[in-house]
Amino acid sequence: MEKIGAVLVIGGGIAGIQSALDLAESGYKVYVTEKTTGIGGVMAQLDKTFPTNDCSMCILSPKLVEAGRHPNIELLINANILKLDGEAGNFKLNILRKALFINSEKCTGCGICGQECPVESIDIYNEHMVINSAAFVKYPQSVPLVFSINKDMCIGCGICQAVCKAHAVEYFQQDEEININVGAIILAPGFDEFDPAPLQVYGYGKYPNVVSSIEFERILSASGPYSGMVLRPSDGDIPEKVAFLQCIGSRDVHHAKPYCSSVCCMYTAKEAVIAKEHQHQVNPTIFSMDIRAYGKDFDKYIIRAQDEYGIRYIRSRISSIEENPRNNNLILNYESEDGSLISEEYNMVVLSVGLNPPDDAIKLSKIFGFELNEYNFCKTDHFTPSKTSKSGIFVCGAFAAPKDIPESVIQASASAAHANILLHSARNSLVTKKVYPPEINVEGQAPRIGIFVCHCGTNIGGYVDVPSVVEYAKNLENVEYAEDNLYTCSADTQIKIVETIKEHNLNRVIVASCTPRTHEPLFQETIREAGLNPYLFEMANIRDQCSWVHMHVPIAATDKSKDLVRMAVSKANKIEPLQRTILDMNHNVLVIGGGISGLSAALGFAEQGFMTYLVEKTTELGGHAKNIHASIEGNNVQEFLSNIIEKANKNENLKIFLESEIDTIEGFVGNFETKLKSSENKENDEGTLEHGIIVVATGGEQYQPTEYLYSKDPRVVTQIDFEKMLFESKFDEKVNKIVMIQCIGSRNEKNPYCSRVCCAEAIKNSIKLKDLYPEKEVIVLFRDIRTYGLKEKYYREARSKGVMFLRFEEDLPPELEKEGENLVIHVDSPNIGKVDLELDLLVLSVGIHPPYESNEKMAPMLKVPLNDDKFFLEAHVKLRPVDFATAGIFVCGLAHSPRSIDESIMQANAVVSRASTYLSKDEIEAEGIIATVDISKCSGCGLCIETCAYNAITMDEEKMVVEINSGLCKGCGACVSSCRGLAIDLLGYTDEEIYLVINEFK
Amino acid sequence: MTESKSESEKEFEPKILGFLCNWCSYAGADLAGVSRNQYPPNVRVIRLMCSGRVDPNFVIDALIKGADGILILGCHLGDCHYGEGNYEAQANYKMVDKLLKFVKLDNRVTLDWVSAAEGTYFAKIVTDFTNKIRSLGPSPLSKKSNPSIEIQLKMKAVKQVVYNPRIRKLVGRERNITLNENVYEEIIDKDEFDLLLNETLEAEYVRNQIYFHLEESPKSVKEISNKMGIDKKIIFEQLLVLRQRSLIDLSEIKGYSPVYKVKK
Indicate if the pLDDT at residue A127 is higher than 70: no
For A145-192, write each residue's pLDDT tens digit.
Answer: 888 998 888 888 888 999 898 999 999 999 999 999 999 999 999 999
Q: Which of B145, B177, B203 is the last residue of a domain?
A: B145
The stretch A282-310 carries a mean pLDDT of: 95
Instruction: Indicate whether A480 belongs to any domain.
Output: yes
Residue of B nearest to A222 (CA): B244
* Residues in Cβ contact with A325 at an 8 Å cutoff, skipping those fewer than 6 apart: none
Name the residue among B173, B232, B241 with its Cβ closest to that of A234.
B232
Give the HSE-up count for residue A585: Cα atoms under 13 Å, Cβ half-sphere.
20
Burial of A343 (0-12, 13-18, 19+ CB in 10 A): exposed
Indicate if the pLDDT at residue B3 is higher than 60: no
Looking at the DSSP assignment, which residues form a beta bridge with residue A348?
Answer: A242
* Residues in Cβ contact with B230 at an 8 Å cutoff, skipping those fewer than 6 apart: B206
Assess A157–B contact: CB distance below 8 Å, yes or no. yes
- Transcribe A229-297 into DSSP letters: ----TTT-PPPSEEEEEEEETSSBGGGTB-S--SSHHHHHHHHHHHHHHH-TT-EEEEEESS----STT
Res. A133 pLDDT band, cuts 50 70 90: confident
For A541-600, write each residue's pLDDT tens digit.
Answer: 999 899 988 988 999 999 999 999 999 999 999 999 999 888 899 999 999 999 999 999
The stretch A902-923 carries a mean pLDDT of: 97
A229–chain B nearest CA distance, Å: 9
Res. A682 pLDDT band, cuts 50 70 90: low
Cα of A150 vs its chain's centroid, Å: 31
What pLDDT score was predicted for residue A1002?
67
Instruction: Indicate whether A209 belongs to any domain.
Output: yes
The rounded distance, in Å, linking the Cα atoms of A348 and A330 is 7
Same domain, B59 and B173: no
Percent of chain B with pLDDT over 90: 76
For A965-980, write each residue's pLDDT tens digit.
Answer: 888 888 889 999 888 8
Assess A231–B contact: CB distance below 8 Å, yes or no. yes
Name the CA radius of gyration of chain A, rounded: 30
Instruction: Indicate whether A955 belongs to any domain.
Output: yes
Residue of B nearest to A128 (CA): B237
Q: Tally Cβ neighbours within 10 Å of residue A33.
A: 25
What pLDDT score was predicted for residue A337?
84
Of A189, A213, A257, A250, the C-alpha closest to A397 is: A189
The stretch B32-58 carries a mean pLDDT of: 92
The stretch A242-269 carries a mean pLDDT of: 95
* Residue A481 DSSP SS3: strand
Q: Which of A356, A382, A416 is the last residue of a domain?
A: A356
Same domain, B112 and B188: no
DSSP 8-state class, residue A630:
B
Angle between helices A901-919 and A596-606 (to 10 degrees): 30
Residue of A nearest to B192 (CA): A155
Same domain, A180 and A156: no
The rounded distance, in Å, linking the Cα atoms of A41 and A138 is 11
Same domain, B24 and B130: yes
Same domain, B185 and B134: no
What pLDDT score was predicted for residue A681?
58
The stretch A19-33 carries a mean pLDDT of: 97
- Check CB contact under 8 Å for A227 and B250: yes
The stretch A727-731 carries a mean pLDDT of: 89
- Count of structural domains, chain B: 2
Same domain, A552 and A693: no
Res. B168 pLDDT band, cuts 50 70 90: confident
Same domain, B141 and B177: no
Percent of chain A with pLDDT over 90: 77
What pLDDT score was predicted for residue A684?
58
For A488-517, write each residue's pLDDT tens digit.
Answer: 888 778 889 999 999 999 999 999 998 887
Same domain, A649 and A522: no
Same domain, A331 and A476: no
Same domain, B180 and B235: yes
- Count of structural domains, chain A: 7
Whichever domain contains B78, its CATH number is 3.40.50
- pTM of the predicted structure, to 2 decimals: 0.89
The stretch A32-38 carries a mean pLDDT of: 94
Between the two ends of chain B, the Cα-to-Cα distance in Å is: 46
* Residues in Cβ contact with B133 at an 8 Å cutoff, skipping those fewer than 6 apart: B14, B16, B42, B68, B69, B108
Ramachandran bin of A227, using left for φ above 0, alpha for ψ from -120 to 50, beta for the remaining angles? left
For B105-161, write each residue's pLDDT tens digit.
Answer: 999 999 999 999 999 999 999 999 999 999 999 999 998 899 999 999 999 999 999
Angle between helices A991-1000 and A554-572 (to 10 degrees): 150
Instruction: Indicate whether B21 belongs to any domain.
Output: yes
Q: In which domain, by residue range, is A489 found?
A: 449-572
Q: Which of A356, A380, A403 is the last residue of a domain?
A: A356
* Residues in Cβ contact with A895 at an 8 Å cutoff, skipping those fewer than 6 apart: A593, A597, A696, A697, A698, A699, A700, A850, A855, A871, A872
Instruction: Indicate whether A601 belongs to any domain.
Output: yes
Instruction: Indicate whether B158 belongs to any domain.
Output: no
For A353-393, write each residue's pLDDT tens digit.
Answer: 999 999 999 999 999 999 999 999 999 999 999 999 999 99
The stretch A746-760 carries a mean pLDDT of: 94
Query: What sign for the dihedral angle of Cα A359, A362, A367, A372?
Result: positive
Res. A800 pLDDT band, cuts 50 70 90: very high
Q: Which of B93, B115, B145 is the last residue of a domain?
A: B145
Of A129, A340, A324, A140, the C-alpha closest to A217 is: A129
Name the residue among B177, B243, B257 with its Cβ closest to that of A237.
B257
* Residues in Cβ contact with A638 at an 8 Å cutoff, skipping those fewer than 6 apart: A629
Same domain, A510 and A462: yes
Indicate if the pLDDT at residue B189 is higher than 50: yes
Instruction: Indicate whether A529 belongs to any domain.
Output: yes
For B69-101, write each residue's pLDDT tens digit.
Answer: 999 999 999 999 998 899 999 999 999 999 999
Instruction: Indicate whether B42 belongs to any domain.
Output: yes
Q: Which of B111, B145, B179 is the last residue of a domain?
A: B145
DSSP 8-state class, residue A800:
H
Q: Tally Cβ neighbours within 10 Å of residue A614.
A: 28
- Check CB contact under 8 Å for B200 and A118: yes
Q: Tally Cβ neighbours within 10 Å of residue A437.
A: 11
Assess A227–B contact: CB distance below 8 Å, yes or no. yes
Same domain, B85 and B206: no
Residue pair A226/A207 in contact by the 8 Å Cβ criterion: no
Q: In which domain, by residue range, is B254 found?
A: 164-262
Same domain, A343 and A486: no
Instruction: Indicate whether B153 belongs to any domain.
Output: no
B173 vs A contacts (CB less than 8 Å): 118, 155, 157-159
Residue pair A244/A284 in contact by the 8 Å Cβ criterion: yes
Assess A327–B contact: CB distance below 8 Å, yes or no. no
Whichever domain contains A786, its CATH number is 3.50.50.60
Of A937, A785, A798, the C-alpha closest to A260 is: A785
CA max distance for chain A: 101
Instruction: Indicate whether A442 belongs to any domain.
Output: no
The stretch A38-60 carries a mean pLDDT of: 89
Same domain, A212 and A341: yes
The rounded distance, in Å, linking the Cα atoms of B168 and A129 is 26
Among A21-35, A37-51, A120-134, name the one with the lowest average pLDDT.
Answer: A120-134
A113 vs B contacts (CB less than 8 Å): none
Same domain, A249 and A260: yes
B85–chain A nearest CA distance, Å: 19
Residue pair A791/A900 in contact by the 8 Å Cβ criterion: no
Same domain, A681 and A723: no
B165 vs A contacts (CB less than 8 Å): 116
* Residues in Cβ contact with B88 at an 8 Å cutoff, skipping those fewer than 6 apart: B51, B52, B175
Chain A, window 882-921: residues with a beta carbon less than 8 angstroms from a chain B beta carbon? none
CB contacts < 8 A, A to B, total: 91
Same domain, B124 and B180: no
For B6-17, write each residue's pLDDT tens digit.
Answer: 555 557 899 999
Same domain, A90 and A78: yes
Assess A233–B contact: CB distance below 8 Å, yes or no. yes
Q: Tally Cβ neighbours within 10 Å of residue A278.
A: 18
Whichever domain contains B229, its CATH number is 1.10.10.10
Instruction: Indicate whether A883 belongs to any domain.
Output: yes
Instruction: Indicate whether B154 belongs to any domain.
Output: no
The rounded distance, in Å, linking the Cα atoms of A234 and A209 is 6
Of A910, A184, A185, A858, the C-alpha closest to A600 is: A910
What pLDDT score was predicted for residue A90?
96
Same domain, A836 and A707: yes
DSSP 8-state class, residue A205:
T
B140–chain A nearest CA distance, Å: 31
Q: How far is CA A481 from CA A469, A473, A476, A509, in A?
A: 13, 9, 10, 10
Same domain, B32 and B98: yes
What pLDDT score was predicted for residue A124?
60
The rounded distance, in Å, linking the Cα atoms of A811 and A33 is 52
Between the two ends of chain A, the Cα-to-Cα distance in Å is: 68
The stretch B25-34 carries a mean pLDDT of: 93
Same domain, A127 and A227: no
E-strand stretches of B105-216: 109-113
What pLDDT score was predicted for residue A435?
83
Instruction: Indicate whether A229 belongs to any domain.
Output: yes
| DSSP H or E run through A75 | strand A73-77
Whichever domain contains A938, its CATH number is 3.30.70.20
- Check CB contact under 8 Å for A120 and B200: yes
Q: Tally Cβ neighbours within 10 Å of residue A666.
A: 12
Instruction: Indicate whether B150 belongs to any domain.
Output: no
Indicate if the pLDDT at residue B2 is higher than 50: no
Instruction: Indicate whether B159 belongs to any domain.
Output: no
Q: Which of A356, A373, A392 is the last residue of a domain?
A: A356
